Amino acid sequence: MGAPTPTDIAEPFSLRQAVERSMAVYLSDIDEEDENLVANLYDLVMSEVEPPLIQAVLDHNAGNQSRTSTMLGLNRGTLRKKIRQYGLRV
């Protein structure tokens, strides 16, 4: 099953609310021992969020890297580097 579409979601909520909910669940699921293992939560979250973000925008733009880089506010070279880094499909 693929990613949910906007019509699959029961109630509309913002991207910010989705992140807040996900982080609340993630943080409530870790105990004190796990907290010591999470040394850099920011980098962890960014490494989990960036690939699907880039892929979604690439898909939205039918693989057009120029439009994708403009939408993401990245230059095309940086976008290409991230596509290779994460093994994304174009």
Give the mean model confidence (pLDDT) for residues 14-42.
86
Max intra-chain CA distance, the chain: 45
Given this model, what pLDDT does residue 4 score?
60
Query: Percent of the chain, pLDDT > 70?
Result: 87
Q: How far apart are CA 78 and CA 5, in angstroms?
A: 28
- Mean pLDDT of all residues in the chain? 88
Determine whether domain 14-86 maps to CATH 1.10.10.60: yes
Tell me the whole-structure pTM to 2 decimals.
Answer: 0.76
Ranges of each domain in the chain: 14-86
Using alpha carbons, select from 12, 32, 16, 14 the residue that is nearest to residue 24.
Answer: 16
